Amino acid sequence: MPATFTHSPAETERKEPGIGGKPPVDRRPTGGGGGGGDDDRQHERRGPRELLHKIRFSVFSILAADMMFFAILVALFFARQAGTHMDPRTHEQIGDWHPVLLPPILYLNTALLLLSSLTMEIARQSIFREIDVLEEWLGLGHPALQRTLPWMGATLGLGLLFLTGQWVAWRQLTAQGFAFDHWSTPASYFFYIITGLHAAHLIVGVVALAVTLGVIRRLKRVELRQVAVDATAWYWHAMGLAWMVLFAVLVIGQ
């Protein structure tokens, strides 16, 4: 009995050459036509999310190093607060830490910074609002951007008010006779160091906010705007958290 052979779907289909003839076609049971289709679309969908995760990881790594720096500063504060020296008359160990009265404006500054953290979070949530992002993807305007910009502007304004309030606090402390010089008491010296270093970090945040406000208007891709706002927001939240801890340390130091 002669053997019979059947062609498998993966074999090459050939047609007779001539007018209208087609070249050999390799039919493969993949459904995607040679590696395209769904796999490529899934890769495109993963791209923006992977970029966002990478940027977040970088920002969190930098913030972790910053938080360690502030933690060391707090440890030095308490170590210096517990410092003593020997009284030459009584030959006893006495403390040399003389607390300073914190300027009342610091409480207002703290409220301003907390409020700015709230407005920054609203801005971050707005840029990720799904229905608005979908409209931007479809080319129906920039609703997510329009919702985000006012809240970021409010955050920038509150940040500038906080820095102005810190400057007023330094002036008030100087008027009390606690200027930042070599005659400063340990308590006032640490006050200037703690508040000054935090203010320097917040200035970086204010610059980042201003740059982000200018850049996101020009970015055409939605995901790039999301990354810019998200990274700025997490840095701003970290500075707010750092100030809460540092302010509590200063209050305890009284």
Contacts of 113 (CB under 8 A, 6+ apart): 158, 159, 162, 239, 240, 243
* 36 has pLDDT over 60: no
Give domain status of residue 90, yes or no: no
Give domain status of residue 50, yes or no: no
Give domain status of residue 39, yes or no: no
Amino acid letter, 105 = I
Q: How does pLDDT run across 190-241, given as a tens digit for each residue?
A: 888 889 999 999 999 999 999 999 888 887 777 888 888 999 999 999 999 9
Strand segments (E) across the chain: 12-13, 25-26, 84-86, 93-95
Per the structure, how many domains does the chain have?
A: 1
Specify the pTM.
0.72
Give domain status of residue 13, yes or no: no
Give the model's pLDDT for residue 209. Answer: 95
Buried b (16+ CB within 10 A) or exposed e, 27-59: eeeeeeeeeeeeeeeeeeeeeeeeebeebeeeb
Interval 69-86 mean pLDDT = 72
Give domain status of residue 37, yes or no: no
Give domain status of residue 235, yes or no: yes
| Nearest partner of 190 among 241, 145, 136, 249, judged by Cα | 249
| Nearest partner of 177 among 100, 106, 252, 253, judged by Cα | 100
Give domain status of residue 185, yes or no: yes
CATH number at residue 217: 1.20.120.80
Average pLDDT, the chain: 75
Which range is least confidently modeled, 50-54, 75-79, 165-169?
75-79
Domain housing 201: 60-71+102-252
Q: How does pLDDT run across 111-145, given as a tens digit for each residue?
A: 999 999 999 999 998 888 776 566 666 565 667 77
Give domain status of residue 124, yes or no: yes
